[in-house]
Structure 1
Amino acid sequence: MTYEELKNQKGFNVNLHYSVSEVAILAPSLDTFGGDDPVVTISKSEPFNYHPRDYRDTTLEIWDWLEAVKLAQELALTPLNERGKVINHDWIKTAQKALRGILGRG
């Protein structure tokens, strides 16, 4: 599985966060500040390395969490050189959100 295939799963809407060392599958948080919390992280530098996290503080149902873990495992089992390149356009959305917050429109 490639990063792009994970992002475009049919019937399972995932929000991904890419960092230097990992990819995180995110779910909306139940806390008062909103935002997203990671429910599974997948290493980008170590094969077979993924970590399910507690989903109970998110809006994710158990069945969706199990699907996220299954997808993370499939990606973790894919050799690193076959996962594809990661192009992260989320910084644009983050910058826009921060600017709206600064301007009081967020």
Structure 2
Amino acid sequence: MLRAFDKIQKRYGWTDEYVLSLPYSRLMDLFSFISKEEQREELEDWKKMAFIGYQTRQLEEGTTFYDYLNAFGLTDDSLKHTETETSLENEVWSKEKCVEHANHIIAQFQDDE
């Protein structure tokens, strides 16, 4: 939990007091948002590295950069097939499900380190 707080503080420059004053639901939204943003940023980094590889490697004639990215699973199309999250809009969760979801998000932050 502390690592998640640190990431929020680092990203937004907020103090402990401000983060702790946020409503629980907003805090969970921030955990989820930051996790997704970090994944998006990492994907962009991988795409930049793939572009260098695409330029320096001999490929079959007609291979596009999109095809090259898709071969490594770095396109939006390939991500849609692996995405398992459902829309959370208009869904009411029990307290237990909220805690389980929060633990899942926190585990994602801990896996990064």
Same fold by TM-score, threshold 0.5 exceeded? no
Higher strand share: 1
| Structure ranking higher in helix proportion | 2
Work out which of the two has the higher radius of gyration on C-alpha atoms and give 1 or 2. Answer: 2
TM-score by length of 2: 0.26
Provide TM-score, normalisation by structure 1: 0.27
Higher RCO (C-alpha 8 Å, min separation 6):
2
